[in-house]
């Protein structure tokens, strides 16, 4: 974000307020749903593709583009249509067709975080969004509640702990994911149908000692499956003790390799 932009924006904390009301009939209605960069978190992808009854593979192929961040971490962006407005594939004359499952950044709009590392929010009240010129007054806290942000924040926090893990920091070795690890992260975070197949159609549960209740939960509950994916990344990429081998000798060997016995 450049300095000029930041100067135009007002900084808000949780109890600060802003005006906003978005509805059909405004001259700008739907204009903000085109030609926009929207990065999707793993939980955004889960909610959006579930809303459309699509497999993760099909959703990712049809509606997203994958990029690579500096640390080799896959970044997933929503793919705009190739029409003259570069419209979001989910916008209709009536508004968002997946409104109940729209991504985090669409929910938060017109406020957005100062940065992923800093507390606080920004709003650009001089933008062409007419919704900020009228309507109800909200504190950020009220807005987040109204937009059902809590579950998103909870699921995204676990993902943030992965992307800001010490493994990538200068003090932790400044590691970068190779293509194998990047694929593992992509599958465990975004391509959950494939990740589930990997778990249930291999000898995974013969090798790793996973609690029976957890196995049952991840069979039924995709949020639990995603959390399990984060756990797998921690074990496999960050070398954390989030799994144990069923074979005690093997487990001992691993512990010794990590210098923890």
Q: Which is nearer to ligand SF4, 37 or 116 (CB)?
A: 37
H-only helix segments in the chain: 3-8, 42-51, 56-63, 104-108, 140-146, 149-163, 179-189, 192-200, 204-207, 212-220, 222-236, 248-257
- Stretch of 26-34, 193-201, 211-219, 243-251 lying at the interface with ligand SF4 (CB under 6 A): 26-34
User: Which 57-96 positions form the footprint of ligand SF4 (CB under 6 A)?
Assistant: 88, 90-91, 96
If the CB atoms of residues 26 and 114 are measured against ligand SF4, the closer one turns out to be 26
- Assess 204 for contact with ligand SF4 (CB under 6 A): no
Q: Binding of ligand SF4 at residue 40 (CB under 6 A)?
A: no
Q: Taking the complex as a whole, how short is the minimal distance between the CB of residue 170 and ligand SF4, in angstroms? A: 36
Give the start-end residues of each E strand in 84-128.
Answer: 91-92, 95-96, 111-113, 121-123
Binding ligand SF4 (rule: CB under 6 A), the pick from 73, 106, 192, 225 is 106
**DSSP H/E element including 75:** strand 74-78
User: Minimal distance in Å, beta carbon 172 to ligand SF4?
Assistant: 35
Task: Tell me how far, at minimum, the Cβ of 130 lies from ligand SF4, in Å.
Answer: 5
Residue 102 to residues 27, 39, 160, 237, 255, Cα–Cα distance (Å): 22, 12, 19, 30, 43
| Cα–Cα dist 93/131, whole Å | 17
- Is 123 a binder of ligand SF4 (CB under 6 A)? no
In terms of Cα–Cα distance, which of 97, 83, 81, 93 is closest to 48?
97
Q: Is 111 in the site for ligand SF4 (CB under 6 A)?
A: no
**Where on the chain is the footprint of ligand SF4 (CB under 6 A)?**
22, 26, 28-33, 88, 90-91, 96, 102-103, 106, 109, 129-131
């Amino acid at each position: 974000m450049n300095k000029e932009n930041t100067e135009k924006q007002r900084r808000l904390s949780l109890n600060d307020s802003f005006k906003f009301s978005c509805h059909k009939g405004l001259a700008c209605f739907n204009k903000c749903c085109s030609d926009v960069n929207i990065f999707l978190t793993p939980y955004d992808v889960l909610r959006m593709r579930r809303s459309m009854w699509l497999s993760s593979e099909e959703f990712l192929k049809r509606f997203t583009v994958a990029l690579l961040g500096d640390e080799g971490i896959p970044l997933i962006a929503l793919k705009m249509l190739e029409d003259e407005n570069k419209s979001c594939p989910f916008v209709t004359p009536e508004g968002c067709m997946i409104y109940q499952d729209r991504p985090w950044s669409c929910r938060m709009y017109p406020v957005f975080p100062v940065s992923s590392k800093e507390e606080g929010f920004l709003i650009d009240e001089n933008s062409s969004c007419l919704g900020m010129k009228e309507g109800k007054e909200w504190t950020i806290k009220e807005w987040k509640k109204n937009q059902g942000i809590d579950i998103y924040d909870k699921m995204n926090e676990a993902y943030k702990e992965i992307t800001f893990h010490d493994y990538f920091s200068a003090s932790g070795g400044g590691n970068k994911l190779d293509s194998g690890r990047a694929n593992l992260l992509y599958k465990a975070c975004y391509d959950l149908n494939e990740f589930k197949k990997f778990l249930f159609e291999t000898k995974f549960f013969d090798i790793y000692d996973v609690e029976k209740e957890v196995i049952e939960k991840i069979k039924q509950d995709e949020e639990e499956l995603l959390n399990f994916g984060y756990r797998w990344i921690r074990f496999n990429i960050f070398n954390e003790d989030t799994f144990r081998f069923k074979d005690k000798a093997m487990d001992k060997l691993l512990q010794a390799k990590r210098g923890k016995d």
